Amino acid sequence: MPRLPSLSARGAAWSPIRRLAVVAVLLAVAVLVALLTRSDSGRHTPEPAVPAQADSPSSTTSVPKPSSGTGTLPAPPQISDPVPYARAAAQMLWSYDTRTTSRDQQLAAMRAWMTKESRYQDWPSVAGQVPDPVLWSRMADQDQHASASAPEGHYPGAFKRALAEDPSAITEAYIYAVTVNGEQRIAWKGGGGAEDRAVTLAVQCRPSHDCTLAAIAPTVTQ
């Protein structure tokens, strides 16, 4: 039997309102304007210099293993570096198990990863990855579940260039753009397979605080 749509394929077609919501979140930091290639601009008051980790173009170091969370998803890890956190978040977004987790549990576990700063949070971009109740039920009928690996993450070139031009811009919201590449392994009754995945995330990492997820960008930027 052909498999049903996976969670990571959800949200591919975004409504104009949702796209504008994501843009509004990412525009909180001027450097993300370049990432999304928008013509809009934002003005920010310069503050102290950007943390040193933002200068690092990539990271393939191991991601700390999160503790057990709601349903089958892990709780958010205590990580203060944007790239490892984004890799852990992508792995979370690409994982689910309809055999043991309800749709509400899936959403609750995902929400725990979000920033609590409503000004910078775009929950619809994340919640939109989860199928509607009817489709989730159909997936559960087929015992569909997925695991994932996210071995590579990096700051997109547009983000690094914009940050180099104005290092202080990020210090208002401390939101970093991180692109993660990995693999999702999907299984269901009588079948299974693996697919390459990529996502660009907006991750908030304020100094002396653990990182949180702010939004999923509508397009992947390498």
Each residue of 21-32: pLDDT tens digit? 344 344 444 344
Q: Name the nearest CA neighbour of 155 among 99, 205, 103.
A: 205
pLDDT above 80 for 193: yes
Contact 194, 24 (CB under 8 A): no
| Secondary structure string (H, E, C) spanning the chain | CCCCCCHHHCCCCCCHHHHHHHHHHHCCCCHHHHHCCCCCCCCCCCCCCCCHHHHCCEECCCCCCCCECCCCCECCCCCCCHHHHHHHHHHHHCCEECCCCCHHHHHHHHHCCECCCHHHCCHHHHHCCCCCHHHHHHHHHCCCEEEEEEEEEECCHHHHHHHHHCHHHHHCCCEEEEEEEEEEEEEECCEEEEEEEEEEEEEECCCCCCCEEEEECCCCCC
Take residue 159 and report the two structure tokens written for it: 């983000």
- Average pLDDT of the segment spanning 76-88: 97
**How high is the pLDDT of residue 97?**
97
Higher pLDDT, residue 181 or 2: 181
Work out the pLDDT band at 110, boundaries 50, 70, 90: very high
Give the predicted TM-score (pTM) of the model: 0.75
